[in-house]
Amino acid sequence: MKPLWALSIGLLLSACSESKPPPEPVRPVLSIKIKALNEEDLGRFAGSIQARYESNTGFRVGGRIASRNVDVGAEVEKGTLLATLDPSDQQNQLRSAQGDLAKIQAQLINAKASAMRQQALFDRGVGAQAQLDDAMTNLKTTQASLDQARAAVNQSKDQLSYTELRADHKAVVTAWSAEAGQVVSAGQQVVTLAQPDIKEAVIDLPDTLVDQLPSDVVFLVAAQLNPGINTTATIREIEPQAQSATRTRRARLTLAETPEGFRLGTAISVTLSTAIKPRIELPASALQEVDGKQRIWVIDAQNKTVSPRDVSVISRTASTVVLAGGVKNGERVVSAGVHSLKPGQAVKIDEDSQ
């Protein structure tokens, strides 16, 4: 009988071991690390880095441009010769004025001698008062003519100097509006000079967006070719009227910093954003609805297991959902395959998950 009992107990134990369910398999999942959004993007626009102060410079006299001494992009110091006019006319005017001055100087010598003779004759009592008065009047008139001739010479010298266009401050040449051989009038724009010390970002904003910009709007300015070169900016001024063709208004932004890579003319990308109450954005596939409640699956980083957590949804699109809270920064959430998970199930995190 003892062998039979032993056999029966062995069979019973074997049956019990066969009825125990196997352990849940470790399931690989896609996941995403939570990062709360503190800003809302209002748009992205292209622009350029420009100097805050620019001057359109031209010659103070008219004439034919004889030479152009610098090119666009050149950095010039104060007094640098930018361009010259053909000075022939101004040189002839100067020679004429100098000839008139020499003539008046000779007349003044004679006027002084005549006045001295008439004064001597009058003092001896043999000269008439009328002749002395005429001599003195002639002397004064000739002296005034001399002053006028000297002023004409100085003016001619100035006119000759105006045939040279020089930079009146340290600047960068940003544009030429005339070429050598071209005839220009006095004051006509010839070259544009930009002061490189103070730079700003310039963009065109839609007219409808400008009216909706909040007072605390934040701009992120980055170089298009190297987004790592960036800084923040604030509005300095916006044109009061929109351009009729594009319905945009030009905005000039004051840069918080001026990175070395922000050279004049650098193409930039400007992102408009504003501070908002922190919120969390997840893929729509991370959300599961159970009994009318919305929940997500949070991964325990130490135990590599998942657990459900109820959340409140603010808004959703076809591909994303925005949560009001219920999850913290740094926590990892399953982003796909949530309908086949069970509480406490062991998972394997995909290394490529973002």
- Do the domains 23-37+279-349 and 88-161 sit in the same CATH topology, yes or no? no
Structure tokens belonging to residue 266: 């650098």
For 88-161, CATH number?
Answer: 1.10.287
Domain boundaries of the chain, sorted by first residue: 23-37+279-349, 41-52+198-278, 56-86+163-194, 88-161
Secondary structure (H, E, C), 205-265: EEHHHHCCCCCCCEEEEEECCCCCCEEEEEEEEECCCCCCCCCEEEEEEEECCCCCCCCCC
Are the beta carbons of 323 and 314 closer than 8 angstroms?
Answer: yes
Q: Please, what is the average pLDDT of the chain?
A: 85
Q: Which long-range contacts (CB under 8 A, 24 or more apart) does 116-125 make?
A: none
Domain covering 56-86+163-194, topology:
OB fold (Dihydrolipoamide Acetyltransferase, E2P) (2.40.50)
Q: Which long-range contacts (CB under 8 A, 24 or more apart) does 91-98 make?
A: 91/160, 93/156, 93/159, 93/160, 94/153, 94/156, 94/157, 94/159, 94/160, 96/156, 97/149, 97/152, 97/153, 97/155, 97/156, 98/153, 98/156
Mean pLDDT over 158-163 rounds to 94
Per-residue pLDDT of 319-344, as tens digits, reads 888 887 778 878 888 888 788 788 88
**What pLDDT is stored for residue 12 in this prediction?**
52
With a threshold of 0.85, does the pTM exceed it?
no
- The Cα–Cα gap between 288 and 330 comes to 21
Instruction: Evaluate if residue 41 carries a pLDDT over 70.
Output: no
Structure tokens belonging to residue 332: 């990892």
Burial class (CB in 10 A: 0-12, 13-18, 19+), 14: exposed
Length of the chain: 354
* pLDDT confidence bin for 162, thresholds 50/70/90: very high
Q: Is 273 helix (H, G, I), strand (E, B) or coil?
A: strand
Instruction: Evaluate if residue 191 carries a pLDDT over 90.
Output: yes
Give the H or E element holding residue 326: none
**What pLDDT is stored for residue 146 in this prediction?**
93
Domain covering 41-52+198-278, topology:
Elongation Factor Tu (Ef-tu); domain 3 (2.40.30)
Per-residue pLDDT of 214-253, as tens digits, reads 767 888 999 999 989 999 998 899 998 888 888 899 999 9
Cβ neighbours for 60, distance < 8 A, ≥ 6 positions apart: 162, 186, 187
- The Cα–Cα gap between 189 and 178 comes to 8
Residue 57 region, left (φ>0) first, then alpha (ψ -120 to 50), else beta? Answer: beta
* pLDDT confidence bin for 38, thresholds 50/70/90: low
- The Cα–Cα gap between 131 and 121 comes to 10
**What pLDDT is stored for residue 18 in this prediction?**
52
**What pLDDT is stored for residue 352 in this prediction?**
47
Query: One-letter amino acid identity for 126?
Result: V
Query: One-letter amino acid identity for 125?
Result: G
Please list the residues that pair with 44 across neighbouring strands. 271
- The Cα–Cα gap between 71 and 57 comes to 15
For 23-37+279-349, CATH number?
Answer: 2.40.420.20
Mean pLDDT over 284-306 rounds to 85
* pLDDT confidence bin for 1, thresholds 50/70/90: very low
